[in-house]
């Protein structure tokens, strides 16, 4: 079965993203079409990049990077849950993306953002990074507005009625792309003698 990681890209104390990521996980698991797991970057040991070689070389020397590479490689696709910080996405998410390289390649990704304007600038800032990692981002996104989908400026998460269908549309695009790219990765794998 297709494996999808929902990656929570914020570690800020009191973050609204924890509730968002749980909502995404609960809604996704109801579909029964893939194995969905939640990866919270607050629980992953990823200090700022400390590897002596560029990630594209695949020569990971530190155990935390090797573990992250194993984690990322285990999935066929991803949903990134990100806030918008200063018209972009958080540094902790950039660090997680930049940490490894080949493990991301030829996989699909869907985006769920949140912020004062729905986090749309975080999504736009992510797209070129994802392209550089050979991640195919699907066009349907979920943009959660702190004014309308949350109460008390993020303290309570109450997604609008239109957000469930938006999430369904994104996952409906993510699954076929994840499956197609899995076939591409498998056909490109060298034959064992």
Output the DSSP codes for 124-153: HHHHHHHHHTTEEEEEEEEEEETTTSEETT
pLDDT reported for residue 193: 46
Domain presence at residue 122: yes
Please give the tally of structural domains in the chain.
1
Average pLDDT over residues 66-87: 98
Structure tokens at 22: 């749980």
Domain presence at residue 63: yes
Q: Which domain holds residue 67?
A: 3-188
Give the domain CATH number at 59: 3.40.50.360
Single pTM value for the model = 0.95
Question: If we measure between CA atoms, which residue out of 83, 77, 72 comes closest to residue 126?
Answer: 83
> Tell me: the pLDDT tens digits for 120-129?
999 999 999 9
> Tell me: the pLDDT tens digits for 140-190?
999 999 999 999 867 899 999 999 999 999 999 999 999 999 998 888 665
Share of the chain above pLDDT 70, in %: 96
Domain presence at residue 193: no
Phi/psi region, residue 120 (left: phi>0; alpha: psi -120 to 50; beta: rest), is alpha
């Amino acid at each position: 079965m297709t494996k999808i990681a929902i990656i929570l890209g914020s570690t800020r104390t009191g973050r609204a993203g924890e509730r968002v990521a749980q909502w995404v996980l609960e809604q996704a698991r109801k579909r029964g079409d893939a194995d969905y797991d939640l990866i919270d970057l607050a629980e992953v040991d990823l200090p700022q990049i400390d590897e002596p070689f560029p990630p594209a070389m695949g020569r990971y020397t530190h155990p935390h990077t090797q573990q992250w590479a194993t984690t990322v490689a285990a999935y066929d696709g991803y949903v990134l849950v990100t806030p918008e910080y200063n018209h972009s996405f958080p540094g902790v998410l950039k660090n997680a993306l930049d940490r490894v390289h080949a493990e991301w390649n030829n996989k699909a990704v869907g985006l769920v953002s949140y912020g004062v304007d729905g986090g749309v600038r975080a999504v736009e800032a992510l797209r070129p990074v994802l392209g550089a990692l050979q991640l195919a981002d699907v066009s349907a996104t979920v943009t959660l507005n702190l004014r309308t989908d949350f109460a008390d400026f993020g303290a309570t998460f109450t997604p609008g009625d239109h957000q469930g269908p938006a999430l369904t549309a994104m996952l409906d695009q993510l699954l076929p792309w994840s499956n197609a790219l899995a076939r591409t990765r498998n056909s490109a794998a060298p034959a064992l003698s």
